[in-house]
Each structure stands twice: as structure tokens, then as C-alpha cells.
Amino acid sequence: MSKKIIFLGPPGAGKGTQAKLLAAKHQLAHISTGDMLRAAVAEGSELGKQVKGILDSGQLVSDALIVQLIEDRVKKSDCARGYILDGFPRTVPQAEALKAMLAAAGTSISAVVSFELSEESVLGRLTHRAGVEARADDSAEVQRERLRVYREQTSPLIQYYTNAKLLRSVDASGSVDDVQKLVEAALDVK
């Protein structure tokens, strides 16, 4: 069965790094909605023009837009063996839309890995990332906003997926290697 895995966690928790590693090792597609949106902005496409201001502010783009983006993406052939969703869903309505979309295709989410990291560590890592990656969305003020948005709109998904018996928590405070081992153990893969 093809694996459909969600990586959930605050900004700076290392989801993107771990998603890339796991996807490459297990021939899964890595679907990062943030990367897709940033690529659209860099291209200057219609979508990019529509979302640039929202990305720069640290707010979320609309559920309808992001769900359409995912629907189109998972139909691509590289998703046949399964995929890791990195940065989606980010709201309960997105999670509901994903569930309905998969149910319509006769399938469902395999597991949700929750990356656990204290707010203090999140802020420390984001400050570091702003220095090394110079991401436009990583000014100190925007970082705080993204964390606030995470707390308000995304963190309820921890309870949502706990209720669905899909959540597997991982301590994300260790090194890349340590966290990778924990993620693989949580997913029962090596």
C-alpha cells in the first residue's frame, strides 16, 4: 500500500529536513506546500502574485487555494509509491478536506508524525535560520507571527489526529541523525 504521511510541527522543528531525508531513502514524494508557494512567487506566476503578500506577512493562504494545490500535486506520477506532506494540512478545515479527498479515492492517511519542540527552541532555531538562509519570511516579527499562527490554527491538529489515532510524537530537540532515527522508529521503517 502506498504510504501517505503527514509531518506536523511548529516552524523550525526540522520537518523539511527530515521529510527530504525520509522521502529520498524510501522513494516517497516530498510535498512541501511552502516550497511550492515560494517557487510560484519566484516564477512570478499568477498564483505567485496572489500569495506573495500573504507569505511575507506570516499568515496562511486560503484553505481553498492550498487544497486545490494539493489535489493537483498528489495526482502526479511521483506520488504513486506514497508521499510525505510537509506543511499541509495547517488548519482543521484543510485536514477535513484532505480526509474527504483521500476517502473519495478509496484511501486514507497512514500516519502523522508530530515534531515536538519547546517554543523557546523554536525561536532559537528560527533566529539561526534567518541568518543562514535569509528567507524573506523570517524577520523576527514575522517569525513571531508564524509561531502565533501555528499555535492558533495548526496546533489543534495534534488533538485532531490524536482522536483519529494517527498521531506519533517525536522529540525534535536532538541532532538531525537522532531525530531521523526517532522518525523511522515512529513509522516503523528503517
Q: List binders of ligand AMP among 73-132 (CB under 6 A).
A: 87-90, 94
Q: Residue 5 Cβ, how far from ligand AMP at the closest point, in Å?
A: 15
Decide: is 55 part of the binding site for ligand AMP (CB under 6 A): yes
Segment contacting ligand AMP (CB under 6 A): 54-62, 102-110, 116-124, 177-185? 54-62
Min CB(156)–ligand AMP separation in Å = 14
Note whether 174 and 182 are within 8 A (CB). yes
- The verdict on 146 binding ligand AMP (CB under 6 A) reads yes
Q: What angle do CA 30, 37, 97 make, to 5 degrees?
A: 70
Q: First-to-last CA distance in the chain?
A: 17
Report DSSP letters for 86-119, one per residue. Answer: ES---SHHHHHHHHHHHHHTT----EEEEEE--H
For 172, phi then psi, to 5°, come to -95, 15
> Binders of ligand AMP: how many residues, by CB under 6 A?
18
Which stretch, 19-27, 60-68, 104-112, 165-173, contacts ligand AMP (CB under 6 A)?
A: 60-68
| Strands 82-86 vs 3-8: parallel, antiparallel or unpaired | parallel
Q: Is 101 helix (H, G, I), strand (E, B) or coil?
A: helix
Any idea which residues carry the catalytic annotation? 15, 90, 129, 135, 146
Task: Work out which of 26, 61, 92, 168 binds ligand AMP, going by CB under 6 A.
Answer: 61
What is the C-alpha separation between 94 and 67, in angstroms, rounded? 7
SS3 165: coil
Between 138 and 179, CB nearer to ligand AMP: 138
Nearest distance in Å: CB 188, ligand AMP:
26
Question: Comparing C-alpha atoms, which of 54, 23, 15, 20 is closest to residue 37?
Answer: 54
- Of 11 and 170, nearer to ligand AMP (C-beta) is 11
Question: Would you call the peptide bond into 11 cis, given omega within 30 degrees of 0 as the criterion?
Answer: no
- Is 18 near ligand AMP (CB under 6 A)? no
Q: Which residues bind ligand AMP (CB under 6 A)?
A: 11, 33-34, 37, 54-55, 58-61, 66, 87-90, 94, 137, 146
